[in-house]
Amino acid sequence: SLMAQITPLATVTAVFNPGKAEILAEQALQLAQTLGDQIAEAKILWNQLIIYRNINKAAQAIVCGQRALALVRQLHLPEQMAFVLHDLGYCFAFKADFKSAMASFLEASELWRELSNLPMLGDSLTGACLVCVFTGEYDAAITFFEEALQISQSIDSLWGLAGCRHNIGYVFGDCGEMERAIFEMEES
């Protein structure tokens, strides 16, 4: 029951309460470790990654994420692995570890393709696009954007459309394509 409460509180939603999520996650983690439930432990560590990412404690988020990733790899849990990799990608990007961020997003994208999870594939491609925006690799950013845009349009994902268009607006602006930049940002 503790685990069911953590994710909504850890995620930026109407019920976002990272303090409460952090307390519940600590309690749940101790219980999972006492019970030897590694699957629960991995999910709780992933939730801690989300909590710390959302309160700008990227270093703590990465530690939790790497612990979760080691467990899900050991337990062969591809879907949970993809979630952890995806969220780790953002943490690495915000710490300017762009090589690790890109590796995380690409591995997550590969898993999402295998799992046929198009919403999350689009989101991970958007993350890869963001890394390319940060590093000035604009051709690659556009390639990731175009695929994320196509996926998001095909499944009518407003979240996906907003995210990928926001990121690419910076690229078009930097390249002097102001009308396109403004269009993408307004669409976002």
Closest-CA residue to 61 (of 20, 33, 89): 89
Residue 123 token pair: 């989101």
How are the residues of the chain apportioned to helix, strand and coil, as percentages rounded to the nearest 5? 85, 0, 15
Per-residue pLDDT at 13: 87
Q: Is the pTM of this model over 0.85?
A: yes
Average pLDDT, 10 consecutive residues per value, the chain (188 residues): 92 93 97 97 97 95 98 98 98 97 98 98 97 96 97 95 90 94 92
